């Protein structure tokens, strides 16, 4: 790997910025000052230091984010705050992206990574990855709705969706609302909302609790994030892909 690419990927700055660092003579490889941006390093075995501070290379990054409402699942947007905007300057990388999407008004678990292969495994319909949601519904959810969801619904526009596992947590008949959990394996546009519209009910609050075997950390405040633990990453890479 070129030394300028190594420095950029370890967070020392853009390619242009790290070339200035190299010219200053403060980058060493195996205790030798390197000024040539094209110099080749072995990112796993060479000892690279920035102003005598050792640099360690990490290829892939994985974060668990508790997405709040009014933030969009995108890397950039001209008008709205994105999930990438929630990252600190220290953690920001240009190659990070959200795995899948949550609607602007939906909260809950979202993975941010630069690992495209992992994202594909989690999102591919062939992998049958469970996605579990909690929702508050305007309307009384019934056993009949559970049966309809289990069979697979036809949406208002005629589009068919695969079966989902619907569980009723509570029903408040006085205010005409229900709290439910729903497990689906697809990720169609506004799917949960459209599934309830198909049975003449409305989602008024939606939160993703789980993706595969990975559960949202209850200790994470809205808008907060943290790196996945090794155990969590193992779950996502094995059990999490169905």
Query: What residues are annotated to the active site?
Result: 103
Q: Give the whole-angstrom CA distance, residue 206 versus residue 166.
A: 14
With 0-12 / 13-18 / 19 or more C-beta atoms within 10 angstroms meaning exposed / middle / buried, residue 34 is middle
The sign one gets for the Cα dihedral 80, 227, 133, 163 is positive
Q: Which helix (H) or strand (E) holds 202?
A: strand 202-211
Q: What's the rounded Cα separation, in Å, for the pair 54 and 10?
A: 11
Cα 13 vs. chain centroid, distance in angstroms?
24
Residues sharing a CB contact under 8 Å with residue 180, sequence separation 6 or more, in sequence order = 134, 135, 137, 141, 166, 167, 168, 169
Token pair listed for 82: 């994105």
């Amino acid at each position: 790997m070129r030394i300028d690419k190594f420095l950029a990927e370890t967070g020392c700055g853009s390619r242009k910025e790290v070339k200035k660092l190299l010219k200053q003579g403060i980058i060493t490889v195996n205790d030798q000052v390197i000024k040539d941006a094209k110099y080749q390093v072995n990112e796993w075995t060479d000892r690279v230091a920035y102003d005598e501070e050792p640099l360690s290379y990490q290829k892939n990054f994985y974060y668990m984010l508790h997405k709040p409402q009014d933030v969009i699942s995108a890397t950039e947007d001209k008008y709205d705050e994105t999930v990438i905007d929630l990252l600190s300057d220290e953690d920001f990388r240009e190659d990070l992206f959200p795995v899948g999407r949550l609607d602007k008004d939906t909260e809950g678990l979202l993975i941010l990574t630069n690992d495209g292969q992992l994202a594909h495994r989690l999102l591919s319909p062939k992998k049958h990855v469970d996605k579990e949601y909690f929702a508050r519904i305007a309307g009384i959810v019934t056993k009949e709705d559970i049966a309809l969801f289990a069979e697979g619904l036809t949406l208002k526009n005629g589009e068919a969706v695969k079966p989902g596992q619907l569980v009723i947590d509570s029903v408040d008949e006085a205010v005409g609302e229900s709290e439910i959990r729903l497990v689906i394996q697809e990720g169609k546009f506004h799917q949960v909302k459209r599934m309830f519209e198909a049975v003449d009910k409305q989602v008024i609050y939606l939160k993703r609790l789980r993706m595969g075997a990975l559960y949202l950390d209850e200790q994470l405040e809205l808008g907060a994030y943290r790196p996945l633990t090794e155990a969590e990453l193992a779950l996502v890479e094995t059990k999490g892909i169905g």
